Homo-oligomer: A and B are copies of this chain.
Amino acid sequence: MKITGRRVITSSPENSETPVESFRTWVTPTNDFYVRNHFDSPSLDVANWTLDIAGFVERSLRLNRKNLDSMSQTDLFATLECAGNGRSFLEGDVPGVQWGIGAVGNAEWSGVPVRDLLELAGIREGALEVVFEGSDSGTEGGADGDVRFARSLPLDMALHPDTLVALRMNGQVLTQEHGYPARLVVPGWYGVASVKWLRAIQVVNEPFRGFFQSVKYTVKRKSARGVREEVVGMMLPKSEITRPRHGECLAPGARLVEGVAWAGAEVVAAVELSCDGGESWRRAELVGPQKRYTWTNWRIEWEPTRHGEYQLLARAISDSGEIQPGRHNPLHGGYHINFSRPLAVSVADSGDKKPLVFSI
């Protein structure tokens, strides 16, 4: 059985998942890193490619790849997760790509801070948001005619020194499916913010109402002013169990339960594991790098006290104390799917002579 390589959900456009084996390496190999494309991925000729900085600025700029390469580069690690990751586990028939657990990955990104580009252009007084336009466009349900992929950030996020026009991923030039020759990377935010195949950065003085932050990629939220629609932004705390696997039958005796957890722009402060469907919880050991923006691997020893069925649950806790919830919030529709999902395993009787089945 093929362990590595992306798990294809849809092929045109490509929507494919990171295999669980590549959750265990902390840095996801580029070829295993999930791909979420809304349209066919544009094949751009870097010789003719340019990036425009325009809109509510003192002076418009048109930069080519050489201009960007010659500027000061920033490297950082960031986990990106699709806002719809886990959608297939929701009750009912929720429209959209039917993601399992794998629309998430962790990589090193290198490039030029957007701030440096905006400082070159000069932001005019009254600027509110910055719109990032991709080179990809096409038809989408709910849109009239062709729609271009574009997303905005509030000005302070666009100016955050870690918001990058990334030129490289894991030390190599970006691959086509990951946005060659240049993509946005917004650490801590759901992947939709990290626009690929960038062609323009537009400073605007009013809220941007593009298709991918009005018709799609919004959630509802109750407030003292009533139910509000909000644009999908920061990633919420979430964890996954990578070992054992759902449905696995285990030999009796002590074993490691292993997994990964992330918490948006924050460091993961703790992960808790329950082996009894949520009755009791123990704190897992965090292993490997523990950095803001990135996921953290974890493990904990578990010795089943009897044979039979078990329900394992993990939950992530962010540095600010936010805890992964136990249920999906229906106001979030097909996004923000970060509830702790039970993983069922069975432990064999020590006298059981049947061969054990291991799934991956």
Which A residues contact B (CB, under 8 angstroms)?
Answer: 129, 153-157, 189, 193, 207, 213, 222-227, 230-234, 269-270, 272, 278-283, 315, 317, 319-329, 339
Kindly identify which residue among B233, B281, B339 contacts A222, using a CB–CB cutoff of 8 Å: B233
Residues of B within 8 A of A315 (CB): 323
Asked if A231 and B223 sit within 8 Å, CB to CB, the answer is yes
Q: Supply 12 further A-B pairs (C-beta < 8 A) apart from A321-B328, A321-B339.
A: A153-B224, A154-B226, A156-B227, A193-B224, A223-B230, A224-B231, A225-B231, A280-B280, A319-B327, A320-B327, A321-B326, A323-B324
A153 to B279, CA, bound (A): 38
- The chain B residue with its CB closest to the CB of A339 is B321
Kindly identify which residue among B213, B282, B320, B324 contacts A224, using a CB–CB cutoff of 8 Å: B213
Residues of B within 8 A of A213 (CB): 224
Residues of B within 8 A of A189 (CB): 224
5 residue pairs bridging A and B, Cβ less than 8 Å apart: A224-B234, A269-B326, A321-B325, A321-B326, A321-B339
Residues of B within 8 A of A319 (CB): 327
Kindly identify which residue among B153, B225, B230, B279 contacts A282, using a CB–CB cutoff of 8 Å: B279
Residues of B within 8 A of A269 (CB): 326
Asked if A323 and B320 sit within 8 Å, CB to CB, the answer is no
- The chain B residue with its CB closest to the CB of A230 is B223
Known: A226-B156, A281-B272. A326 touches B329 (CB 8 A): no
A129 to B223, CA, bound (A): 13
Known: A154-B224, A226-B156, A327-B320. A282 touches B283 (CB 8 A): no
Residues of B within 8 A of A320 (CB): 325, 327, 329
A231 to B228, CA, bound (A): 13
Kindly identify which residue among B153, B222, B279, B324 contacts A283, using a CB–CB cutoff of 8 Å: B279
Residues of B within 8 A of A323 (CB): 315, 323-326
Residues of B within 8 A of A232 (CB): 224
Residues of B within 8 A of A227 (CB): 156
- The chain B residue with its CB closest to the CB of A274 is B281
Residues of B within 8 A of A193 (CB): 224
Interface core residue of A213, A224, A234, A324 (most chain B CB under 10 Å): A224
A227 to B226, CA, bound (A): 18
Residues of B within 8 A of A272 (CB): 281
A323 to B317, CA, bound (A): 10
Known: A279-B283, A320-B329, A321-B325. A230 touches B226 (CB 8 A): no
Asked if B278 and A270 sit within 8 Å, CB to CB, the answer is yes
A270 to B320, CA, bound (A): 22
CB distance from A164 to the nearest CB of B (A): 18
A325 to B272, CA, bound (A): 14
Residues of B within 8 A of A155 (CB): 226
- The chain B residue with its CB closest to the CB of A277 is B283
Residues of B within 8 A of A280 (CB): 280-283
Interface core residue of A222, A225, A230 (most chain B CB under 10 Å): A225
Kindly identify which residue among B222, B225, B282, B317 contacts A207, using a CB–CB cutoff of 8 Å: B225
CB distance from A195 to the nearest CB of B (A): 14
Q: Lowest 9 CB-CB distances: which A-B pairs, in order?
A: A321-B327, A224-B233, A154-B226, A321-B326, A224-B231, A321-B325, A323-B323, A281-B281, A280-B282
